[in-house]
């Protein structure tokens, strides 16, 4: 995991158990954020499928605001789907 992403995750209060070995962060038991050369993407950690950018899965920069944006996108998605 990039040191920048690890630092940002700690700043917003995510514990070590949420930080993956590679460039991803687990937000809950199924969903997470993955970092690639283009930025951060909301991802289903069971299938490793990224969310559609047309619907909800817009990428964001590797910043605190970018990670918070991805967390907000997940909350919107869960609300739309009626997931607790």
pLDDT in tens, 28-51: 989 999 998 889 999 999 998 988
pLDDT in tens, 7-36: 999 999 988 889 887 888 999 989 999 998
H helices, E strands: number in the chain: 2, 4
Q: Which two tokens stand for residue 83?
A: 């997931």
For the whole model, what pTM was predicted?
A: 0.84
Residue 83: which pLDDT band, with cuts at 50, 70 and 90?
confident
Beta strand 39-44 with 24-26 is unpaired
């Amino acid at each position: 995991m990039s040191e920048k992403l690890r630092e940002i995750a700690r700043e917003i209060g995510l514990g070590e158990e949420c930080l993956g070995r590679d460039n991803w962060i687990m937000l809950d038991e199924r969903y997470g954020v993955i970092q690639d050369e283009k930025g951060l993407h909301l991802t289903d950690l069971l299938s490793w499928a990224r969310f559609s950018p047309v619907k909800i899965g817009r990428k964001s920069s590797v910043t605190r605001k970018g990670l918070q944006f991805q967390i907000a996108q997940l909350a919107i998605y869960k609300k739309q789907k009626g997931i607790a």
